[in-house]
Every structure is written in structure tokens, then in C-alpha cells.
């Protein structure tokens, strides 16, 4: 269950693969499973926090596959969401500051061309660095604050209900 991290500056992907192969060979026949998660620096997209989170996600994917695996984050990028400490802090801040925008989307009866009501759509303010409401809810779930985000969304929508056309139902 021990975990270690290594930073390999000026090492290309082939060099890292050669190193991981040698490391895995050293443990062959010992009964020790070696699972390795890799992440690479991507200009403009990598911080120490995000690289650690990506390597950790790759490591746990290697373990999920049964161990004795090497998984690079690039292989799982499309299927695994990584939540950094920065994202968690952003959601906490958003909840504390009540930082949501509400937009109302009309719902029409297309046969009669009458407005039935509006759907309230809550979005985190751009300054929090969240990709949108789905990411906000995913992170809120990870930090155990989904119920607070639900309440904030409802409160923000009802707090702006005076903007609705008269007689429009709020969905």
C-alpha cells in the first residue's frame, strides 16, 4: 500500500516507459504488485496540484485494472475526471460567497405558442474557474456539500423570480 512519487525532468515518454519497465522487472517473481500512474507536464495546463491529481488518478486506474500495470493519464483523460485542491477550494468559495448566476429558459407550448413557464438554470460565476454546473456538482459531491449547492441553486432561482413574466411557472 505504499505510494511514491518521482519527478523526471527532461525525460521524454520513451525514457519514462523504459524506466517503468525496468522497475516492474525488478519486482517480478516477488509477489509484489507494482502499479504506476504517470502524468506529463502540459504547457498552460499543468500545476503541481493538477499533475499530482492526474498521476494519482492514473495510479488508481492501474490498481483498478488489477495491478502490475502502468497507466498514463493521457490514456484515461476522457473517462476520468480529476478534481484538484484548487477546484475543491473554488466550490467551497462559491458556496460561501453564494456565487451563482441564474438564467431563465422559456418553456413554450409549440401548438398554442403560449409561454408555459421558465426553467431556472444556475451557473457558477466565471471567476471560480469551474467548467459549468456539472463540474460544480461533481466537486460538491466529492466534498460532501451537494445539498448546500442544491439549496443555493433553489434560493438563487426563487430570489430572482420577480424577473419572470407575470403568471409564468418556475420549473
* 3-state SS, one letter per residue, for 14-75: HHHHHHHHHHHHHCCCCCCCCCEEECCCCCCCCCHHHHHHHHHHHHHHHHHCCCCCEEEHHH
Nearest Cα residue to 53 out of 1, 5, 108:
5
How high is the pLDDT of residue 133? 92
Ordered per-residue pLDDT tens for the chain, 171 residues:
678 888 888 888 889 989 998 998 898 889 888 999 999 887 766 677 778 888 888 888 888 898 888 999 889 888 876 778 888 999 999 999 999 999 999 999 899 988 888 999 999 999 998 888 988 998 898 888 999 999 999 999 999 988 887 778 887
How high is the pLDDT of residue 46? 67
How high is the pLDDT of residue 84? 80
Three-class secondary structure of residue 122 per DSSP:
strand
Nearest Cα residue to 33 out of 72, 51, 59, 6:
59
| Helix (H) / strand (E) containing 138 | helix 133-142
- Residue found by looking up cell 456539472 in the block: 134
Residue pair 118/106 in contact by the 8 Å Cβ criterion: yes
Amino acid at each position: 500500500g505504499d505510494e511514491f512519487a518521482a519527478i523526471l525532468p527532461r525525460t521524454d515518454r520513451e525514457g519514462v516507459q523504459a524506466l517503468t519497465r525496468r522497475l516492474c522487472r525488478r519486482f517480478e517473481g516477488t509477489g509484489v504488485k507494482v502499479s504506476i500512474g504517470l502524468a506529463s507536464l502540459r504547457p498552460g495546463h499543468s500545476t503541481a496540484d493538477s499533475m499530482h491529481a492526474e498521476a494519482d488518478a492514473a495510479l488508481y486506474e492501474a490498481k483498478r485494472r488489477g495491478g502490475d500495470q502502468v497507466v498514463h493519464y493521457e490514456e484515461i483523460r476522457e473517462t476520468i475526471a480529476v478534481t484538484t485542491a484548487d477546484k475543491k477550494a473554488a466550490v467551497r468559495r462559491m458556496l460561501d460567497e453564494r456565487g451563482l448566476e441564474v438564467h431563465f429558459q422559456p418553456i413554450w407550448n409549440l401548438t398554442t405558442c403560449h409561454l408555459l413557464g421558465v426553467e431556472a438554470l444556475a451557473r457558477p460565476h466565471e471567476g471560480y474557474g469551474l467548467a459549468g454546473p456539472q463540474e460544480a456538482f461533481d466537486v460538491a459531491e466529492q466534498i460532501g456539500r451537494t445539498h448546500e449547492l442544491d439549496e443555493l441553486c433553489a434560493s438563487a432561482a426563487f430570489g430572482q423570480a420577480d424577473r419572470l413574466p407575470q403568471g409564468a411557472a418556475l420549473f
